[in-house]
Protein backbone atom coordinates (compact mmCIF):
# COMPACT_ATOMS: atom_id res chain seq x y z
CA UNK A 1 0.00 0.00 0.00
CA UNK A 2 1.41 3.40 -1.00
CA UNK A 3 2.41 5.67 1.88
CA UNK A 4 2.56 9.46 1.89
CA UNK A 5 3.59 12.08 4.44
CA UNK A 6 1.21 14.99 5.00
CA UNK A 7 1.16 18.04 7.27
CA UNK A 8 -1.31 18.40 10.12
CA UNK A 9 -3.50 20.81 8.12
CA UNK A 10 -4.06 18.13 5.46
CA UNK A 11 -6.16 16.00 7.83
CA UNK A 12 -9.41 17.68 8.80
CA UNK A 13 -12.62 15.98 9.98
CA UNK A 14 -11.37 12.57 8.79
CA UNK A 15 -10.74 13.93 5.28
CA UNK A 16 -7.19 13.91 3.89
CA UNK A 17 -6.25 16.44 1.20
CA UNK A 18 -3.04 15.87 -0.77
CA UNK A 19 -1.55 18.39 -3.19
CA UNK A 20 1.68 18.99 -5.11
CA UNK A 21 4.06 16.23 -6.16
CA UNK A 22 2.28 13.55 -4.13
CA UNK A 23 -1.06 14.30 -5.80
CA UNK A 24 0.65 14.07 -9.18
CA UNK A 25 2.24 10.77 -8.14
CA UNK A 26 -1.11 9.28 -7.09
CA UNK A 27 -3.02 10.45 -10.16
CA UNK A 28 -0.46 10.30 -12.96
CA UNK A 29 2.31 7.93 -11.93
CA UNK A 30 0.36 5.34 -9.93
CA UNK A 31 -2.91 5.98 -11.83
CA UNK A 32 -4.91 5.16 -8.75
CA UNK A 33 -8.71 5.07 -8.76
CA UNK A 34 -11.44 6.02 -6.26
CA UNK A 35 -11.87 3.51 -3.40
CA UNK A 36 -8.23 2.40 -3.58
CA UNK A 37 -6.50 2.80 -0.21
CA UNK A 38 -3.32 4.59 0.84
CA UNK A 39 -1.53 5.26 4.12
CA UNK A 40 -0.96 8.86 5.20
CA UNK A 41 1.27 9.97 8.08
CA UNK A 42 1.65 13.26 9.87
CA UNK A 43 5.33 12.93 10.90
CA UNK A 44 5.59 12.11 14.59
CA UNK A 45 1.82 12.18 15.04
CA UNK A 46 -1.11 10.37 13.38
CA UNK A 47 -1.08 7.66 10.74
CA UNK A 48 -4.29 6.82 8.89
CA UNK A 49 -5.42 4.30 6.33
CA UNK A 50 -7.75 6.05 3.94
CA UNK A 51 -9.77 5.45 0.77
CA UNK A 52 -9.42 7.74 -2.21
CA UNK A 53 -12.54 9.70 -3.19
CA UNK A 54 -11.60 12.53 -5.56
CA UNK A 55 -8.49 12.39 -7.75
CA UNK A 56 -6.81 14.94 -10.00
CA UNK A 57 -3.19 15.69 -10.83
CA UNK A 58 -3.33 18.76 -8.55
CA UNK A 59 -5.48 17.66 -5.62
CA UNK A 60 -6.42 14.28 -4.16
CA UNK A 61 -8.96 13.71 -1.39
CA UNK A 62 -9.39 10.59 0.72
CA UNK A 63 -11.62 9.51 3.60
CA UNK A 64 -10.11 8.02 6.76
CA UNK A 65 -10.90 4.32 7.19
CA UNK A 66 -8.72 3.58 10.22
CA UNK A 67 -6.21 5.23 12.54
CA UNK A 68 -3.07 3.09 12.61
CA UNK A 69 -0.76 2.65 15.59
CA UNK A 70 2.94 3.12 14.79
CA UNK A 71 5.62 1.05 16.50
CA UNK A 72 8.29 0.99 13.82
CA UNK A 73 10.76 3.65 14.99
CA UNK A 74 13.99 2.84 16.81
CA UNK A 75 13.69 3.42 20.57
CA UNK A 76 16.60 5.89 20.39
CA UNK A 77 17.27 8.77 18.02
CA UNK A 78 20.42 8.33 15.93
CA UNK A 79 21.96 11.17 13.95
CA UNK A 80 24.50 10.20 11.30
CA UNK A 81 27.23 12.83 10.92
CA UNK A 82 29.15 12.16 7.69
CA UNK A 83 32.27 13.93 6.51
CA UNK A 84 31.25 14.99 3.00
CA UNK A 85 32.15 12.09 0.69
CA UNK A 86 32.68 12.09 -3.08
CA UNK A 87 30.03 11.57 -5.73
CA UNK A 88 26.59 10.33 -4.73
CA UNK A 89 27.74 8.40 -1.66
CA UNK A 90 25.87 10.70 0.73
CA UNK A 91 22.66 10.09 -1.22
CA UNK A 92 23.14 6.37 -0.63
CA UNK A 93 23.83 6.95 3.07
CA UNK A 94 20.65 9.00 3.41
CA UNK A 95 18.47 6.57 1.45
CA UNK A 96 19.59 3.37 3.14
CA UNK A 97 20.18 5.03 6.50
CA UNK A 98 16.55 6.17 6.47
CA UNK A 99 15.41 2.62 5.75
CA UNK A 100 17.52 1.41 8.68
CA UNK A 101 16.04 3.91 11.13
CA UNK A 102 18.26 7.01 11.32
CA UNK A 103 16.52 10.09 12.71
CA UNK A 104 18.74 12.72 11.09
CA UNK A 105 21.73 13.22 8.81
CA UNK A 106 24.37 15.85 9.47
CA UNK A 107 26.94 16.25 6.69
CA UNK A 108 30.04 18.22 7.62
CA UNK A 109 33.07 19.66 5.87
CA UNK A 110 35.92 17.47 7.13
CA UNK A 111 39.59 18.28 6.60
CA UNK A 112 39.93 15.42 4.12
CA UNK A 113 36.64 16.02 2.31
CA UNK A 114 37.37 16.52 -1.37
CA UNK A 115 33.88 17.91 -2.01
CA UNK A 116 33.51 21.62 -1.25
CA UNK A 117 30.01 23.11 -1.15
CA UNK A 118 29.24 26.81 -1.13
CA UNK A 119 25.98 28.11 0.31
CA UNK A 120 24.13 28.09 -3.04
CA UNK A 121 25.22 24.59 -4.01
CA UNK A 122 24.63 23.39 -0.47
CA UNK A 123 21.01 24.59 -0.46
CA UNK A 124 20.25 22.71 -3.70
CA UNK A 125 21.93 19.59 -2.35
CA UNK A 126 19.98 19.71 0.91
CA UNK A 127 16.70 19.99 -1.01
CA UNK A 128 17.58 16.86 -2.99
CA UNK A 129 18.83 15.00 0.09
CA UNK A 130 15.62 15.80 1.98
CA UNK A 131 13.53 14.50 -0.92
CA UNK A 132 15.55 11.26 -0.90
CA UNK A 133 14.92 10.91 2.86
CA UNK A 134 11.18 11.49 2.41
CA UNK A 135 10.85 8.91 -0.37
CA UNK A 136 12.88 6.35 1.59
CA UNK A 137 10.78 7.01 4.70
CA UNK A 138 7.59 6.41 2.73
CA UNK A 139 8.97 3.21 1.21
CA UNK A 140 10.08 1.82 4.58
CA UNK A 141 6.91 2.82 6.48
CA UNK A 142 8.67 5.24 8.80
CA UNK A 143 6.64 7.35 11.20
CA UNK A 144 8.93 10.35 10.68
CA UNK A 145 10.92 11.87 7.84
CA UNK A 146 14.56 12.17 8.96
CA UNK A 147 15.96 15.68 9.04
CA UNK A 148 18.84 16.44 6.68
CA UNK A 149 20.89 19.38 7.91
CA UNK A 150 22.74 21.82 5.71
CA UNK A 151 26.48 21.01 5.80
CA UNK A 152 28.21 21.94 9.06
CA UNK A 153 31.75 23.15 9.56
CA UNK A 154 33.85 21.10 11.97
CA UNK A 155 33.37 23.82 14.61
CA UNK A 156 29.58 23.68 14.21
CA UNK A 157 29.75 19.90 14.62
CA UNK A 158 31.83 20.22 17.77
CA UNK A 159 29.39 22.76 19.22
CA UNK A 160 26.46 20.41 18.51
CA UNK A 161 27.85 17.51 20.55
CA UNK A 162 26.36 18.70 23.90
CA UNK A 163 22.89 18.49 22.33
CA UNK A 164 23.18 14.68 22.38
CA UNK A 165 23.22 12.18 25.22
CA UNK A 166 26.19 10.36 23.71
CA UNK A 167 28.57 10.88 20.79
CA UNK A 168 30.73 8.16 19.29
CA UNK A 169 33.27 8.39 16.49
CA UNK A 170 33.89 5.51 14.11
CA UNK A 171 37.67 5.57 14.04
CA UNK A 172 39.79 3.38 11.79
CA UNK A 173 42.73 3.28 14.19
CA UNK A 174 40.46 1.99 16.96
CA UNK A 175 39.34 -0.83 14.68
CA UNK A 176 42.94 -1.66 13.77
CA UNK A 177 43.90 -1.85 17.45
CA UNK A 178 41.06 -4.32 18.10
CA UNK A 179 38.73 -2.03 20.07
CA UNK A 180 35.35 -3.78 20.15
CA UNK A 181 33.52 -2.79 23.32
CA UNK A 182 32.69 0.91 23.01
CA UNK A 183 29.73 0.58 20.65
CA UNK A 184 28.00 -2.00 22.86
CA UNK A 185 28.80 -0.05 26.02
CA UNK A 186 27.30 3.07 24.48
CA UNK A 187 24.11 1.25 23.48
CA UNK A 188 23.82 -0.19 26.99
CA UNK A 189 24.08 3.30 28.52
CA UNK A 190 21.21 4.71 26.46
CA UNK A 191 17.58 4.68 27.51
CA UNK A 192 14.48 4.92 25.32
CA UNK A 193 14.25 8.40 23.84
CA UNK A 194 17.99 9.08 24.12
CA UNK A 195 19.83 10.94 21.38
CA UNK A 196 23.01 9.47 19.87
CA UNK A 197 25.36 11.25 17.47
CA UNK A 198 27.64 9.01 15.40
CA UNK A 199 30.50 10.65 13.48
CA UNK A 200 32.08 9.16 10.35
CA UNK A 201 34.98 10.54 8.39
CA UNK A 202 35.08 10.94 4.59
CA UNK A 203 37.34 8.92 2.30
CA UNK A 204 40.70 9.02 3.99
CA UNK A 205 39.14 9.24 7.43
CA UNK A 206 39.25 11.94 10.06
CA UNK A 207 42.44 13.87 10.70
CA UNK A 208 44.30 13.47 13.98
CA UNK A 209 43.36 17.06 14.88
CA UNK A 210 39.66 16.38 14.27
CA UNK A 211 39.77 13.25 16.40
CA UNK A 212 41.48 15.18 19.19
CA UNK A 213 38.86 17.97 18.97
CA UNK A 214 35.99 15.48 19.07
CA UNK A 215 37.34 13.59 22.08
CA UNK A 216 37.95 16.88 23.92
CA UNK A 217 34.22 17.54 23.52
CA UNK A 218 33.39 14.18 25.08
CA UNK A 219 33.06 11.97 22.01
CA UNK A 220 34.20 8.37 22.38
CA UNK A 221 36.24 6.51 19.77
CA UNK A 222 35.06 3.10 18.68
CA UNK A 223 35.91 0.36 16.22
CA UNK A 224 33.29 -1.28 14.02
CA UNK A 225 34.52 -4.85 13.93
CA UNK A 226 37.76 -6.28 12.56
CA UNK A 227 37.24 -5.11 8.97
CA UNK A 228 37.82 -1.57 7.69
CA UNK A 229 34.59 -0.22 6.24
CA UNK A 230 34.06 2.40 3.55
CA UNK A 231 32.61 5.76 4.54
CA UNK A 232 29.26 4.83 2.95
CA UNK A 233 29.15 1.38 4.60
CA UNK A 234 30.03 2.23 8.20
CA UNK A 235 26.74 4.05 9.02
CA UNK A 236 24.76 0.97 7.96
CA UNK A 237 26.82 -1.18 10.33
CA UNK A 238 25.97 1.07 13.28
CA UNK A 239 22.27 1.32 12.41
CA UNK A 240 21.94 -2.44 11.92
CA UNK A 241 23.74 -3.04 15.23
CA UNK A 242 21.37 -0.58 16.94
CA UNK A 243 18.34 -2.37 15.50
CA UNK A 244 19.66 -5.70 16.76
CA UNK A 245 20.42 -4.32 20.23
CA UNK A 246 17.28 -2.24 20.78
CA UNK A 247 14.71 -4.20 18.76
CA UNK A 248 15.59 -7.80 17.95
CA UNK A 249 17.17 -8.62 21.33
CA UNK A 250 14.05 -7.28 23.10
In this predicted structure, the answer to whether residue 91 has a pLDDT above a threshold of 80 is yes
Confidence of residue 85 (pLDDT cuts 50, 70, 90): very high
Domain ranges of the chain: 3-68, 77-248
What are phi and psi for residue 36, nearest 5 degrees?
Answer: -70, 150
Instruction: Please state, as a whole number, how many other Cβ atoms lie within 10 Å of the Cβ of residue 188.
Output: 8
In this predicted structure, the answer to whether residue 54 has a pLDDT above a threshold of 70 is yes
Q: What is the pTM of this model?
A: 0.89
**What is the C-alpha separation between 245 and 238, in angstroms, rounded?**
10
What single DSSP character describes residue 9?
G
Span of 36-45, 101-110, 238-247 with lowest mean pLDDT:
36-45
DSSP of 198-247, one letter per residue?
A: EEE--TT---HHHHHHHHHTT-EEE--SSSPPPTTTHHHHHHHHHHIIII
CATH topology of domain 3-68: Ribosomal Protein L25; Chain P (2.40.240)
- pLDDT tens digit sequence for 195-250: 999 999 999 999 999 999 999 999 999 999 888 899 999 999 999 999 999 999 87
- pLDDT tens digit sequence for 148-180: 999 999 999 999 999 999 999 999 887 666 667
Torsional sign, CA 115, 118, 121, 126 = positive
What's the CATH architecture for 77-248?
Answer: 3-Layer(aba) Sandwich (3.40)
Amino acid sequence: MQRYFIDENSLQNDIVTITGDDAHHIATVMRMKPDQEIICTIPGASTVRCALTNISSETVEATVVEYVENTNELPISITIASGLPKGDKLELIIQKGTELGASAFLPFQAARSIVKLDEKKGAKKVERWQKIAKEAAEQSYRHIVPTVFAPFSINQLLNAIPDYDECIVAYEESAKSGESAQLVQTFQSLKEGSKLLVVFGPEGGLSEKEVEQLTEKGAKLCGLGPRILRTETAPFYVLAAASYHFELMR
